[in-house]
Amino acid sequence: MVTWRRSGLLAVTLLLLGTACTAADTDRQRPRATPSKKAAATPFGPLVAGMPAYPSSGNAYAGAGPNMLAEPVRGDKALVYVPNTNSNNVSVIDPNTYRVVDTFPGGPEPQHVVPSYDLRTLYVASDQVPDGGLVPIDPRTGKPGAFRKLEDVYNLYFTPDGRQAIVVAEAYQRLDFYDLANWQRLRSERFPDCKGVNHMDYSADGKIMMFSCEFANRMLVLDTASLRKLREFALTETADGMPQDTRLTPDGQHFLVADMHAHGVYVFDAQATRQTGFVPTGKGAHGIYFSRDGKLAYVTNRDAGSISVLDLATLKPATTWKIPGGGSPDMGGLSADGTTLWLSGRYHNEVYALRTSDGKLLARIPVGNGPHGLTVWPQPGRYSLGHTANIR
């Protein structure tokens, strides 16, 4: 029986910025959300300046329900983009036939495919030092553009107002902020105690950001607007913890953090002021994805070859799906209608498609070497905060 364990935590301080626009690597100007001058009042409280208001109360992902495709993405090609870290390319899958229909260069060590803030460009983020960068993909055609060299793009996020990109430069323990109009670096913030700065998410009001430090067994909490360091948490379940995906729950009341060495998910409160619990899931807990109705979380257990399904009302596991014959489910996302969960098989050079109604494996598709942060497109929602599909 899976238990819900509570544990205390440490608090220190940390810093950061926030705001993001989004433009493709073309000369054509892309539309972006119009920043509001005053913080909007919502069920989650006043929002950080420039963050779009929520369409309805109580669900941070209310704008990303089943098939709620924004007008600009409705004509985009339905494809699954898989960055293969070890073969330096991207496999493109037709989700209707479960076949690879294209392969193109993804830059040196491609890690994640990230939708832009305005959803009009997909970026392949590659982080080989010193040769990494971005490959833009036009989602209308599924074809890549010219490689743009940027330093150590392990992961990519956007500030809530859509003005700047945040490059997570993992090897340098640094966050780099870029002007999206020209990809000129505006500033950098280094966090020497955060080895392996990695995944992040925003609170429901956008005022704080929580980052995982993969190789330091800790979490950092930053003020979005001022860059002020607020808190630092030393994780407690194991001395050699490896925190990974970090996500805000749909009700905006919890941050969930998957930890590969603790084999489960840490739980923090809405503003990341304290750890409130820990949920054991499976060996190698890695990615976190939410059902389209906001009731379930799918946690990938990479080393166990399984997916734990959490009931978000109780924050307890409801069931576990084992991949037949074994596998290494890593990162991915849901289909637009929410009926299929797509995941990369990191150590098996394959991709899994699972039916969300019962966890049945629909397909396992051979791809390149070391598939990682795949993205399913198109996605419902109004704007992207980054990673493989953190869309609100």
Whether 52 and 383 have beta carbons less than 8 Å apart is answered as yes
Whether pLDDT at 100 is above 80 = yes
Whether 7 has a pLDDT exceeding 70, the answer reads no
Mean pLDDT of 370-376: 98
Residue range 34-70, pLDDT digits in tens: 334 444 455 788 999 999 999 887 899 999 999 999 9
Tokens representing 373 are: 């942060």
Q: State the pLDDT at residue 145.
A: 98
Looking at per-residue confidence, does 17 or 298 come out higher? 298
Pairing of strands 316-322, 174-179: unpaired
Tell me the average pLDDT across 353-359.
98
- Residue 82 pLDDT > 90, yes or no? yes
Has residue 139 got a pLDDT over 90? yes
What pLDDT, in 10s, does the model give residues 146-165?
Answer: 999 999 999 999 999 999 99
The CA angle 384-90-195, to the nearest 5 degrees, is 65
Least reliable range by pLDDT among 52-66, 126-140, 202-216, 253-267 = 52-66
| Mean pLDDT along residues 375-390 | 97
Lookup: tokens for 306 = 């399984």
Kindly report which listed range (38-47, 102-111, 178-187) carries the lowest average pLDDT score.
38-47
CA atoms of 144 and 163, how far apart (whole Å): 23
Q: Please tell me the pTM assigned to this model.
A: 0.89
Mean pLDDT of the chain: 91
Q: What is the rounded distance in angstroms from the CA atom of residue 136 to the CA atom of residue 206? A: 26
Regarding predicted confidence, which is higher, 287 or 24?
287
Percentages helix, strand, coil for the chain (3-state, rounded to 5) are 0, 45, 55
Give the model's pLDDT for residue 227.
84
pLDDT per position as a tens digit, 273-325: 999 999 999 999 999 999 999 999 999 999 999 999 999 999 999 999 999 99
pLDDT score of 245 = 98
Residue 42: the pLDDT is 55
Of 250, 252, 213, which is closest to residue 233 (Cα–Cα)?
A: 213
Contact 161, 385 (CB under 8 A): no
Residues 196-248: pLDDT tens digits?
Answer: 999 999 999 999 999 999 999 999 999 999 888 999 999 999 999 999 999 99
Please enumerate in sequence order all residues whose Cβ is within 8 A of that of 174, keeping only pairs 6 or more positions apart, or say none.
152, 188, 189, 190, 191, 197
Mean pLDDT, rounded, for 20-40: 39
Location of structure tokens 């060590």? 109
- What CA–CA distance (Å, rounded) separates 100 from 230? 45
- Predicted confidence band of residue 18 (pLDDT cuts 50, 70, 90): very low
Using alpha carbons only, give the angle 2, 3, 4 rounded to the nearest 5 degrees. 130
Amino acid type, 357: S
